[in-house]
Amino acid sequence: MRVLFASSEIYPFAKTGGLADVSYSLPKALSEIGVSVKTVMPLYGCVDTEKFGIRSTGRKVRVSLSAGDFEFEVYHLSDGVEHYFLKNFLFGREYLYGTPEGDYPDNDVRFGAFCHAVVKLIEDGFFRGEIVHVNDWQTSLIPVLIKRKGLRIRTLQTIHNLAYQGVFPKETVERLNLGWELFNMEALEFWGKVNFLKGGIVFSDAVSTVSPTYAREITTPEFGFGLDGVLRKYSYKLFGILNGIDYDVWNPETDRYIYINYTESSIGNKEENKRYFVKETGLREGDWPLFVFIGRLAKQKGIDLFMEKLNEIRELPANFAILGTGDSYYNEFFNSIKGKYENIFVEVAFDEPLSRKMYASADFLLMPSLYEPCGLNQMIAMRYGTLVVARKTGGLADTVRDISEPGGYGFLFEEFNSDEFLSSVKRAVEFYRSNRERLLRLKQFVMGIDFSWNSSALKYFRLYENLIEGRIR
């Protein structure tokens, strides 16, 4: 079986979020079960070709659109998976999608031209295979173009976050030579504009998203971001497959960034990590539980709930550490409280080494998300023996079981409000103070839960098989 995996970002070459992690780990896991996988992404200006050994193949492909003529040069790297990169001046900028001030205004042309180039390489026989697997809106025009050209290859569209859809002015139809006949409610049109992701949903042979609960949620108005009706119409081809994490990348036994390595059997070293972290960050020393938040500072991640209850949180017998960056409103708020409270450490930045220290040191991870398609942080946290305090939504509902339930190992709340969030934090604090032996056992238990890609890769393999054999109709 041959699969072309198209994504706008792949770790470690370029990354803004979890899409990059999945786009590295899933192809790797598929290759390990015998699938021949090739990945393709834009070659951004920020990609260090010398560091990674990325070399030109000498192959070029030209795309002629109303927006202009664009020549892409094909680059390549093999590391067990065949990685391809398409180089063009459109992607030679400092950032992937836009500056801190906003998205690049020509993202429709940038990613539209990229999609055209990928399809042209399929037409020319450079990419051969049975399946093209595209991810999020940036690659969603690939299934549209494949169907329009009548190419005999099956397509799978994966939605990693429905909130990001690639919506552009209707003139994009002409700029990208898509044909005005596609500008209708049954195809690309969305409230008078062009919606790339909608095109991927409509024209792909199957649609997947990154957890079973999220697959159900996005067919409702609450989580559908205006596409719930489309997703209900195509629910027969909608599947929820939980993401995994790469156990080679996330491993407290070998992680070179943490203070002391440890395993389930040496879980006591996790407490030593906490002691080092508290000392390094200047947090209040003593026998306090450590709660950490690691992620984007944005409404989706529920950081507002922490902000609303800041006065109560700083009075709790616990330490807190916040790491992340995001919208300027949140950045400014957390910078304003940096160093202000003895039990709250703040770092407004993207810092992977520091995040690993936090996973290794924490007792509890905070994930009070408004919505969470899958979430990788809770899986990483548990891999490092950290329990999770989270809202019961999306992938969090599929991976965390509340402590009050038989076999429970986390702290969940239902409604998105700060009172319920604070109540869950207080439950965790009380559990830390009164159930130390059980807490230690639960830390060992969650380290043993299998969040690797093994199971999920097999589910994708079966979905590919069903696509090839025409069983999804």
Q: Which residues are annotated as a binding site for ADP-alpha-D-glucose?
A: 15
Q: Which two tokens stand for residue 10?
A: 């792949």
Determine contact, residues 117/72, Cβ cutoff 8 Å: yes
- Residue of 107, 101, 177 whose CA lies nearest to 137: 107
Cα distance between residue 71 and residue 117, in whole Å: 9
Whole-angstrom distance, CA of residue 71 vs CA of residue 78: 23
Q: For Cα atoms 345, 418, 431, give the angle at the middle one, nearest 5 degrees.
A: 70
Reading the block at residue 473, the tokens are 């109709």
Contact residues for 288 (Cβ-Cβ < 8 A; gap 6+): 317, 318, 319, 343
Provide the token pair at 357.
């220290």
What count of Cα atoms within 13 Å lies in the side-chain half-sphere of residue 221?
Answer: 0
Locate 374 and state its tokens.
């899958």
- Rg of the chain's alpha carbons, rounded to an integer? 23
In sequence order, the 6+-apart residues with CB closer than 8 A to the CB of 121 are: 61, 74, 127
Binding residues: 15
Q: What secondary structure letter does DSSP report for 338?
A: T
Quick check: bond before 27 cis, omega within 30?
no
CA distances from 170 to 155, 189, 420 (A): 25, 8, 43
List CB contacts of 357: < 8 A, sequence separation 6 or more. 257, 258, 259, 273, 277, 280
For residue 207, with 0-12 CB atoms within 10 Å meaning exposed, 13-18 middle and 19 or more buried, which class applies? buried
Transcribe 356-408 into DSSP letters. Answer: HHHHHH-SEEEE--S--SS-SHHHHHHHTT-EEEEES-HHHHHH--BTTSTT-
Q: What's the token pair of residue 75?
A: 């680059």
In this structure, what token pair is assigned to residue 38?
């090739």
Q: Which residues contact 212 (CB under 8 A, 6 or more apart)?
A: 240, 241, 242, 398
